[in-house]
Every structure is written in C-alpha cells, then in structure tokens.
Copies of this chain bind each other. A is one copy, B any other.
Amino acid sequence: MTSPIVNRKDLDFLLYELLDVEQFVQRERFAEHNRETFDAAINTAHRLALEHFHPHNRKGDSNEPTFDGEKVTTIPEVKQALKLLAETGLMAAGQDFELGGMQLPVTIAQTCTAIFKGANISTFAYAGLTTAAANLILAHGSEDQKARYVPHMLSGRFFGTMCLTEPHAGSSLGDLRTRAEPQADGSYRLTGNKIFISGGDQDISENIVHMVIARMPDSPPGVKGISLFIVPKYLVNDDGSLGKRNDVRLAGLIHKMGYRGTTSTMLNFGEQGDCTGYLVGEPGQGLACMFHMMNEARIGVGLGAVMLGYGGYLHSLEYARNRRQGRAPGQKDPNSPQQLLVEHADVRRMLLAQKSYVEGALALCLYGATLVDDQKTHPDPAAREEADRLLAILIPVIKAWPSDYCLAANSLAVQILGGYGYTREYPVEQFLRDNRLNPIHEGTNGIQAMDLLGRKTRQQDGAALKSLLTAMRATADQAAAAGSPELGAQAVALQSAADAIADTTAELLELAGAGGHDRFLANAVHYLDMVGHTVIGWMWLRQGLAAEKALQGQPHDADFYHGKLAAGRYFFGYEMPKVHYHSELLRRREDAPLTTDPNWL
C-alpha cells in the first residue's frame, strides 16, 4: 500500500541508513529498546494516523470549530482520534518509563509526531501542545504540580496550551502586560488577555492546563520580569477530580487561512477578578523555562512544515502518474495518445524540486533530533558539547528553511494539479493553506534569521559555526575520496558553499565589530537562506553517499536509491548555485532597506 502521508521506505533509509539511529540502543537510557521497538512505535503511529487522523483532515478544514457564546464545538472525529492516540501511549513516547512513558529517543518520538502531522496537523496540534505543556511541568514544576497535572495530560484526560502572545505583543514578548499578583495562599491572581492561543478552548478534554507567562507587580521590565504559571480551566483537587471553574474565559475564536481544525483563541484571564494561577519554577525565569524546550519545539515546527510538503509531493506524484494531458514537444500527431503528466519534463522538474525540498528537509529535521538525543544521552561529554554547538547553529535553519521551501513545494503540487489543484476537492490547496502558518509562528523566519546571524554565529567566539563547517567539509572529503564522480563534483560544490559561508560571515562580523549593527543584520534572511541551502545540500550529499553504498549491494528497491541520487542531482544543479547569489548580495552589503525612508514607500 502506498501511504499518502510518507514514504515508509524513506523513513527507514533516513533513520537507519543515514542517521544510524539503531546505535542509540547501546546507551543506557535506551537499553531496553532495539530496532524492533522503534519500528513498532513508528508503525503504530502510521497505522493510527492512516485510520483515524488522515480521513477527517479535509472535514476538519471545512467544518471549523464553532463558538455559540457558551460552548465550542468540534467535529467528533477529533476527540476520537486523540483518545486513541492517548491510548497508544505515544503522547509520552519520549518520557521516562517511570512516568509512564516509552522512553524512546527524541528522534523516534519526533518521527511518530511527524507522521501524525502529515496525516492531520490540526487534530494532532491538540496532542502536541499537551505533550509540550506536560514536558514543561516535568522540567520545571514542583513535585505537587507534576503529580497533579502530568498523568492526566499524558493520558489525554487534560489537554495543555501555551499562552504567550498578547494582542499588542507578538514577537516582542518582553512587552507583555498580563499581571500575576501573589496571594496569601502562595497562588497568584492573573489578569490579562492572550491571543492566538491554539487549543485555548475546545469540547474534547475534561480540563485544559494553560501554561501562561505573566509579570508580577515588582518584576523588572522586559524579558527578565516574566514568570511562568499554570492556569487550569478547572482547578484540580488532590484526588484528581475537577474543582471550581477558574476565571479564564474564551473571548472568541479566530478564523484562519488554514490549520482550521485547531481552535485559535482569544482568552481573557481574570475578567471577574478570580483567575488562579500557580508559579512554575523561579520568578523571572518564565522565558527561560519556555525556551528550555525550544529546540524540540522548533524541530517540531520544521517537521510539521516538512510533512505538509511531503503530503503535497506524494499527492501530486500520484496524480502525475495517472493523469494524461498533452504530448511531447516533438509529437505533432493529434491522433497519438496523450502522455502522462509525469512524462513532461516541466512536471518532472516540479516533482524533483518538491522531492529535493521535502526529503532534504526531513533529513535535516531528523538529524537535528539525533543531535538532541546526543546532547542529552551521548556517553562522551565532548560529543554532547559538539551536539549542543551544532544544534545551536542549526535550530533557526531547521525552523525556517522547511517552512519556506516545503511551502514552496506545496505551491508546486497545486501547479501540477492545475485547475483541479486549485479546488477544495483535492487536498493540495489545504496543505498550502495549512503550511502558510509555519513561517510565522514559533518565531517568524525573520526572527530566526536575526537569531542565526546576530547571536548564534557569535556565541563562543563562533565555535558553533566552525563545528557546522567542519562537519560539512568532512562529508565533502568523504565524498571526494569514496563517492562516484558525480558525488565528487557535489563535494566540490559543497566545499565552495562552505567557503562562501566562512568568508561572508567573517566580513559581516567585521562590519558588526565596526559598529555597523544595522547593516550587519539588514540582510539576515539572505544569510539564513545561504546557510540553509548549504545545509540541505550537505544532507543531499550524505544521502547520495548512503544511496551509492546501498546500490552496491544490488538491492531489490534500486529505484528508491536512484531517486535519492536524482533528487541530489537536482538540488546541486538547480539550488546550490543560489548560495552564491546570497553570499554575493551579503558581501556587496546591499542596503536599500536601510536607506529607504518609510515615507517613500
């Protein structure tokens, strides 16, 4: 059976042939695991996703949650799918055994969530947010908080949310105004408004555990004055039963371009003066707590973007293999049969572009997940530090590049289906609408670019970027020594791209040192694109090496490996030259955005 969600063979290739995830079982934390338990988790996720998430993806889009002023209503399939998900235990896939989790590597847990996102990103969002909120409490909460909330969250009885954004403070969290007043009993009384809170209200779970950032009366201004609070929709008694309805109210639902199955809400805290919250961690550490899980959250956004792109790729490929339309340029006989779309060069170009974007980005996101595993569980402290450095520099790329290019892939899928692709009878336009959120949330791509160039390249005197360049050059050396002539040529191109990054970064940092801070950062998005394309080229060269190795064994599924080589050929032929476009633009210090007076626009 061909899955509309993901090529299962591709997952195996990436996890076991490219990233050697099986080695993790040698680590103490994963000693009870083996490839069979990894595969069992992935297969369970895939089956459940196919049977209970994928089928209502379009229905959820065309039947948005409604709010009648009293109650939110979602389609019943959402609750059913999430109930079944909780029952599999996959909501705690990465958690410790002792907390009821499966204690799987982050890489396997992220693979499972990726499959659900590909099947139905809107329905899965409720579960993803709940796992994230539970992890936050586990990492920073008191023993009482862990016991009171987490088991009910991981069992799917309570769901969780993240309440950061306020109407006047989106990207600029330091400017938030929600207040938390300490009470005599050690709790806090919250007042304020939050917006764009996904899952902020629904009719699915018994309770909702809001993780809210707010400011105490005596807090300093800016990000240092932000603390983290648990604000449950219903207070929770010691025995786990629900207590009083808390004063957090749905002010309204927001209607979005896509991602429509997930409620997006405006919430009012303490409108009646009676909203109770509980401090998590230390005062003033709210953002630090939130950002503790940032790496995994941003890998999750990247993976979501990838999987929406992957679904579009698979659907447009299937369509192109079955739909006949037109003839080859040289064929002038109108009586000759029409050819399949996939036989048209331009259609194959659009398929190869999609494949190179989505499979390249999937390789990068899963590689990022292995770095999180290495950072947490590698037995060698030096390797843990190296993983930490690589993650630091790669995270903005992992969040932004897939959300730009897998969105572009979605648009290509629509184009292949033509007029049909533009209709809501086919799923490709929904993928495009759903994916348009990813460049915006969890830090806009512009902010990721500032983070990459403005912070990450400078941390530890540039050690993170050095690690990345060294790792990429090592692959290039390997390909030059052991690969085919084709991969040897790709190795030269990768070295040249790495040179471009090194030289461009040095010039930009010199500019920053000389006080040209605005000019240093003005073209940060081009810097991110330059690094991103190089990193994806690196992933393709690594995949090419693994494919050539596999082909030497004359496998029965040689087509799959030839496909990997073809997509790498496409990426190096059509995409890698853009690295130099960006590098030259950055080195010319193009400054039109800085020299343009806003009144001229």
Report which A residues bind B (CB closer than 8 A). Answer: 165, 168-172, 174-175, 195-196, 220-224, 254-258, 264, 317, 321, 324-330, 334-335, 338, 340, 342-343, 345-349, 351-352, 355, 411, 414-415, 418-419, 421-425, 429, 432-433, 436-437, 439-441, 444-446, 449-450, 454, 517-518, 521-525, 559-560, 562-563, 566, 569-570, 573-574, 577-578, 581, 584-585, 588, 590, 592-601
Taking CB as reference atom, which chain B residue is nearest A598?
A: B342
For the complex formed, measure the closest distance between the CB of A342 and the CB atoms of chain B, giving whole angstroms.
Answer: 4
CA distance A594 to B172 in the complex (A): 48
CA distance A326 to B592 in the complex (A): 21
Whether A524 touches B352, Cβ cut-off 8 Å, given contacts A329-B518, A415-B439, A424-B256, is: no
> Which residues of the other chain, B, contact A415 by a CB distance below 8 angstroms?
439-440, 444-446
Are the CB atoms of B566 and A596 closer together than 8 Å?
A: yes
Q: Which of A326, A335, A524, A560 has the most CB of B within 10 A?
A: A326
Taking CB as reference atom, which chain B residue is nearest A62?
A: B255
Are the CB atoms of B437 and A598 closer together than 8 Å?
A: no
Are the CB atoms of A597 and B559 closer together than 8 Å?
A: yes
> Which residues of the other chain, B, contact A220 by a CB distance below 8 angstroms?
334
Are the CB atoms of B346 and A601 closer together than 8 Å?
A: no
Are the CB atoms of A593 and B349 closer together than 8 Å?
A: yes
> Which residues of the other chain, B, contact A342 by a CB distance below 8 angstroms?
598, 601
CA distance A524 to B347 in the complex (A): 12
CA distance A254 to B277 in the complex (A): 49
CA distance A578 to B529 in the complex (A): 15
Are the CB atoms of A255 and B317 closer together than 8 Å?
A: no
Are the CB atoms of A326 and B559 closer together than 8 Å?
A: no
26 contacts between A and B (CB under 8 A): A171-B418, A172-B326, A195-B419, A221-B335, A223-B334, A255-B423, A255-B425, A256-B423, A257-B423, A340-B598, A345-B593, A346-B449, A348-B601, A349-B592, A414-B436, A422-B436, A422-B437, A562-B597, A563-B601, A566-B592, A566-B600, A570-B592, A570-B593, A573-B585, A574-B590, A581-B581
Are the CB atoms of A196 and B345 closer together than 8 Å?
A: no
Are the CB atoms of B577 and A592 closer together than 8 Å?
A: no
Are the CB atoms of B255 and A196 closer together than 8 Å?
A: no
CA distance A489 to B577 in the complex (A): 24
A-B contact sample (14 more), CB < 8 A, given A221-B335, A347-B446, A352-B601: A171-B325, A175-B338, A195-B419, A196-B419, A223-B334, A255-B425, A256-B422, A257-B433, A346-B450, A415-B439, A422-B436, A566-B595, A566-B600, A566-B601
Taking CB as reference atom, which chain B residue is nearest A596?
A: B566
Among B326, B454, B525, B590, contact of A573 (Cβ-Cβ < 8 Å) = B590
Are the CB atoms of A577 and B585 closer together than 8 Å?
A: yes
CA distance A449 to B345 in the complex (A): 12
Are the CB atoms of A432 and B423 closer together than 8 Å?
A: no
Are the CB atoms of B424 and A411 closer together than 8 Å?
A: no
CA distance A327 to B173 in the complex (A): 12
Are the CB atoms of A592 and B578 closer together than 8 Å?
A: no
Are the CB atoms of B521 and A424 closer together than 8 Å?
A: no
Whether A346 touches B525, Cβ cut-off 8 Å, given contacts A414-B436, A601-B563, is: yes
CA distance A196 to B595 in the complex (A): 47
CA distance A396 to B433 in the complex (A): 28
Among B338, B432, B523, B570, contact of A436 (Cβ-Cβ < 8 Å) = B432
Are the CB atoms of A348 and B517 closer together than 8 Å?
A: no
CA distance A424 to B570 in the complex (A): 37
For the complex formed, measure the closest distance between the CB of A252 and the CB atoms of chain B, giving whole angstroms.
Answer: 10
